[in-house]
Structure 1
Amino acid sequence: MSGTSEQTSRQSLEAAAAKADELERTCLFHGGSEIALGEALARHPVGPDFHALGATTAVLNHTLENVVLDADSLILFKHGHAIAETVYFEPPGAARQLQEGVELTSLPEGENLIFGYNNAHLGYQHWLTQCLPAIDWSLRGKRAGNARLILPRLAPWQEETLAALGLDRIPRLTPQANTRYHLPRVEYSDFLTGATSFAICMSGLQTAKRLADAMPSYPTHDKVLYIDEVNPYYGSIRNEGAVIDLLRRRGVTIVERERLSTAERINLFRHADAIIGPLGQGLTDVLFCRPGTLMWEWMPGHHQNSSFNRLAQATQVDYWADMFATVAEPSKPGQWEIDLDLVEQRLKLLSSRLAHRAAAVATTADASPVVTRSISSRPVRELMQSFESLGDNCEFGLVQQQAGVTSAGLLRFNGFFAPPEFRLEKLVAALQRKFDGLGAQGTISVLPEGEPGHRELIVRETAYGMLYHSGVREGQIDPEAQIERAAKLLGHLRERLLENLATGQKIWVWKSQCKTSREDIQPLLETLREMGPNTLLWVAEADDDHPAGSIERLEADLIKGYVDHFAPYGSVANIHSASWFEVCWRADECCRPDRAGREPGPEADYQPERPPPPLTAMEILARNPAPTPVAAPRVTPRAASRSGIWRWVRRP
């Protein structure tokens, strides 16, 4: 099926839904996790994916009416077309379009049907982080006695989790093979689509905490755990025997998951001080760890996955990660090998960490626990829409994208094609001219760039020396047509920019890695004043006197904010979004105290938060990571019960 015809045979969950209820809204997130990546992973292009996030995700529960369920593929169809998000882990050969005249099994009207699983439900991670929260949150506080769960036959351990949450007696519909059902009304949540798997999801964490609270808790001396992955989906560790011998000599408990009940595993993790293991679903139980626990994840060079990093951040667990080489000539597909010398080094750091923590317990009578909190009840997308970038590159535009902002801006992903030290001067000159002549005939050209067969049309504008990625591949459109399209787009964005400058509705953001003084920024501030009642947020990197996330109001219409660090010009995706979000929240609160921290209004007063869309080719500036140096993991004393730590530390 061609890309075009496939797109026409699918529609989004949002478009197909009769309504959507918000289970969790996006808000600022202040995590307490310390994250340290090994050199190999830090220098890898995916390294930035493991950095701290600054916001939680939005989760919606969609109500669908008159849809068809294909029991074999679990794809839902609306008007004969597949609903895109339900095509998740689809089985091979699954149809994306419903054939006309197919026989349907009808279900009674008036039932509250709730979809409770997806094609990955047999996996422990997917059941615990996707299916169980979908069931839990869909049933919370609003269901009458006619609710019915759509679930397959479950394994005993899955039934155990439902029983622990008190959800095992809800009536069920078990789809039968080779059957298609007409569902008059069904609820389908974002949990089941995988939308929350690579985000900070606090509602999913709450379900896990409910499950943990229902399980027995008892002391254990097993403080450092190695999780033996019995089903290595990502490839087996060739020297795992030597690894386990080393860990055993150091007193690490080897956890064989298949021999333990769910309750026993949860108890082990809730009392552990450190957990170690290869990438795999055995690390899912980090959900039950206490804040301040350490998770050390190992992953192969051929596959990296940040989902467990996200679980660690949500639970306030510190996170180490190392990437190890794939075996060049493996005896089994996907084999990789652990560097035992590196493990020895890390174990010494871990021993030192645990010793410091034990000492902290001895000297600290009481300390406040680490808690997850948002610093504003205002949705992050709404907050970030109050700002607009003036440059000097697309970093702030990508920060907005992480918050779900989709609105375009002239300088959001478009910039001056000039050395960084000249961009501020060029911006001021362009604003003073009000970008007159932008997009005029003869000023735009398109040139293909990239690898042969995958080249993208790059738009160059000569009146102001600007450049941006079009998101269009070579051959998809006639170059002259792309020039015409670019001229219209630039003209439209220019008009919007001037309108926003005249009304002063936006807070304008300027950042640069070049050394910039108060005198350097003054011409930009004066130009903005001439154009309307504007406020400038001048962003710099944090220093000893100005911590990340802080701001200072230099004048009524000039605020200086400080972020942890700027992304390198060659690696724009390496963004510390958490400090950016905090700077924006504080700046907005400073300028508009009446609305910055207001409580959310009635459901009808706002649009439900949507997860941010994927990056487009226009944002390819973010696809060039550069090497990132990473320091050794820091040790921060935290107060908690630490019986058994010294037994592990003193091991030879």
Structure 2
Amino acid sequence: MVEEETHLVESVPAPVFRPGTTQARNVIVTRSGMCFQGPFMLSESVHVGYGFRKSLATYATGIGSLLTRGVRYHRTTREAIVFHNLWTGGYYHWMTEALPRLFAVRDRWSTSALVMPHHAPNPWLLRWIENVGQFEEVVRFEGGRNLWLPRVLIPHCPTRQDEFDVLNLQRVKSELFASIGVDQRSRADRRIFITRRNARWRKIPNEAEVVARLEPLGFEIFDFDKLDYEGQVRTMSEAGVLVSLHGAGLTNLMFMRPGSHVVECAMRPAFPLTYNRFRKTHLANPSYVRLARLFRVNHHFVFCELDMSNVPKSRTKKITANDYDLIVDVDKLLATLGEIIR
């Protein structure tokens, strides 16, 4: 039996988030979804569970956007729905925070305008929102400027990441399946390995060995960057076993069937390199463990060693341990799979 390294994973369970809504007048909405009435930021539009310093930094980001990008007044008689936040450009936050917030006010879609986020992880999702919502009006951040709206409706942002609105997260999945035409009665027995060989960072230096050992077990190799979004959802819905590096692409485990398995290859926690100042721990990020539990998918960790020989090239943000390559312990991966597919 594979030795479980549960002591390396943060064990705090994911709290269930039950969103409320706020209606407000004369609101300025930044491109990142922060809402201001005069100089005051509406806390419902941001994460407020990380302490005063983080909240102050968020406020400063919003004020900076107002000063540098300006504001465009949009005259509309409709109440405008603001459902995105500072993190929505990332796929994980789009799927687990933004879309559930939008679905929480679905009964208001037919009478409201929609504020379309300036950043989204996939253009297909923007088109899908417009098609499925059939909104009378869509308001955009034209010219990159912020918006001043007469009336807004704000479905509340979770106070922290990893707080899940379970009901509306399930609705998102059901609506996507219906739109793409996923047959939930079909078998889900495919074995999938997600490669990052074409990514700019966080690759597997020994991936050739990993693939050579997985293919005889019936694993198919996919590069999701080369697969359209509908294909990604359909492929995940048919997966019985998924092997992937830690990363936002694992959000797609929400499309897997109950009882299926996901193996997350993640960096072995090592203080102080992996210390996270928001979670206040160096232990492994439990985001996908928690998401898997919600969708009744079995989650397994295979911890990997950091390869710091290939330093990532300069990025728009500070380089972190998450950007380095990971060396997969192939024997441990196969031992974990042996318990799943025996």
Q: Cα 1:221–1:317, aligned 2, differ >3 Å: closer, same or farther?
A: closer
CA distance, structure 1, for counterparts of residue 75 and residue 102 of structure 2:
21
Question: Which AA in structure 2 matches 1:132?
Answer: L
1:345 equivalent to 2:335? Answer yes
Secondary structure of residue in 2 paired with 1:48: coil
**How much has 1:74 moved relative to structure 2?**
4.0
Identity level (%): 18
**How much has 1:265 moved relative to structure 2?**
2.1
CA distance, structure 1, for counterparts of residue 70 and residue 252 of structure 2:
43
Q: Is the 8 A contact 1:226 1:276 kept in 2?
A: yes
**How much has 1:174 moved relative to structure 2?**
0.7
CA distance, structure 1, for counterparts of residue 256 and residue 264 of structure 2:
15
Question: Which AA in structure 1 matches 2:118?
Answer: P
**How much has 1:326 moved relative to structure 2?**
1.7
Secondary structure of residue in 1 paired with 2:11: helix
Q: Cα 1:319–1:233, aligned 2, differ >3 Å: closer, same or farther?
A: farther
1:152 equivalent to 2:118? Answer yes
| Aligned equivalent of 1:216 | 181
| Aligned equivalent of 2:280 | none
Q: Cα 1:226–1:327, aligned 2, differ >3 Å: closer, same or farther?
A: same
**How much has 1:342 moved relative to structure 2?**
0.6
CA distance, structure 1, for counterparts of residue 161 and residue 65 of structure 2:
28
Q: Cα 1:331–1:250, aligned 2, differ >3 Å: closer, same or farther?
A: farther
Larger radius of gyration: 1
Matches within 5 A, 1:160-179: 160-162=127-129, 166-167=132-133, 169-177=135-143, 179=145
CA distance, structure 2, for counterparts of residue 300 and residue 285 of structure 1:
20
**How much has 1:215 moved relative to structure 2?**
2.1
Q: Cα 1:220–1:190, aligned 2, differ >3 Å: closer, same or farther?
A: same
1:43 equivalent to 2:17? Answer no
Question: Which AA in structure 2 matches 1:271?
Answer: E
Q: Is the 8 A contact 1:80 1:99 kept in 2?
A: no
Q: Is the 8 A contact 1:103 1:180 kept in 2?
A: yes
CA distance, structure 1, for counterparts of residue 2 and residue 45 of structure 2:
34
CA distance, structure 2, for counterparts of residue 234 and residue 125 of structure 1:
18
Normalising by structure 1, what TM-score?
0.42
1:265 equivalent to 2:267? Answer no
Equivalent of 1:67 in 27, 32, 43 = 27
Q: Cα 1:292–1:133, aligned 2, differ >3 Å: closer, same or farther?
A: same
Matches within 5 A, 1:17-36: none
Aligned length: 307
**How much has 1:239 moved relative to structure 2?**
1.9
Q: Which runs of 5+ in 2 are unaligned?
A: 48-53, 275-283, 313-322
Question: Which AA in structure 1 matches 2:30?
Answer: D
1:334 equivalent to 2:306? Answer no
Flag the structure with more relative contact order, 1 or 2, with Cα contacts below 8 A and sequence separation at least 6.
Answer: 2
Q: Is the 8 A contact 1:198 1:307 kept in 2?
A: no
CA distance, structure 2, for counterparts of residue 263 and residue 97 of structure 1:
37
Q: Cα 1:153–1:273, aligned 2, differ >3 Å: closer, same or farther?
A: closer
1:106 equivalent to 2:65? Answer no
Deviations 1:373-396 (A, max 9, x none): xxxxxxxxxxxxxxxxxxxxxxxx
CA distance, structure 2, for counterparts of residue 168 and residue 315 of structure 1:
28
CA distance, structure 2, for counterparts of residue 234 and residue 47 of structure 1:
25
Matches within 5 A, 1:438-587: none
Q: Is the 8 A contact 2:16 2:166 kept in 1?
A: yes
Question: Which AA in structure 1 matches 2:215?
Answer: R
**How much has 1:178 moved relative to structure 2?**
5.7
Question: Which AA in structure 2 matches 1:208?
Answer: K
Q: Cα 1:290–1:118, aligned 2, differ >3 Å: closer, same or farther?
A: same
Matches within 5 A, 1:225-624: 225-229=192-196, 235-301=202-268, 304-327=284-307, 329-332=309-312, 334-352=324-342
Q: Cα 1:346–1:123, aligned 2, differ >3 Å: closer, same or farther?
A: same
Deviations 1:227-279 (A, max 9, x none): 22468698332222322222123211112212323222222222221112111
1:189 equivalent to 2:148? Answer no
Q: Cα 1:326–1:170, aligned 2, differ >3 Å: closer, same or farther?
A: farther
Question: Which AA in structure 2 matches 1:43?
Answer: H
Q: Is the 8 A contact 1:56 1:200 kept in 2?
A: yes
CA distance, structure 2, for counterparts of residue 175 and residue 324 of structure 1:
42
Question: Which AA in structure 2 matches 1:243?
Answer: V
Deviations 1:4-62 (A, max 9, x none): xxxxxxxxxxxxxxxxxxxxxxxxxxxxxxxx99644x222x4323xx65x63222222
CA distance, structure 2, for counterparts of residue 282 and residue 180 of structure 1:
30
Q: Cα 1:136–1:57, aligned 2, differ >3 Å: closer, same or farther?
A: closer
1:202 equivalent to 2:202? Answer no
Equivalent of 2:40 in 66, 81, 85 = 81
Q: Is the 8 A contact 2:236 2:255 kept in 1?
A: yes
Deviations 1:323-348 (A, max 9, x none): 22223544545222111111121121
Q: Which runs of 5+ in 1 are unaligned?
A: 1-35, 353-652
**How much has 1:97 moved relative to structure 2?**
7.1
CA distance, structure 1, for counterparts of residue 191 and residue 160 of structure 2:
32
Secondary structure of residue in 2 paired with 1:322: strand
CA distance, structure 1, for counterparts of residue 196 and residue 101 of structure 2:
26
Q: Cα 1:232–1:77, aligned 2, differ >3 Å: closer, same or farther?
A: farther
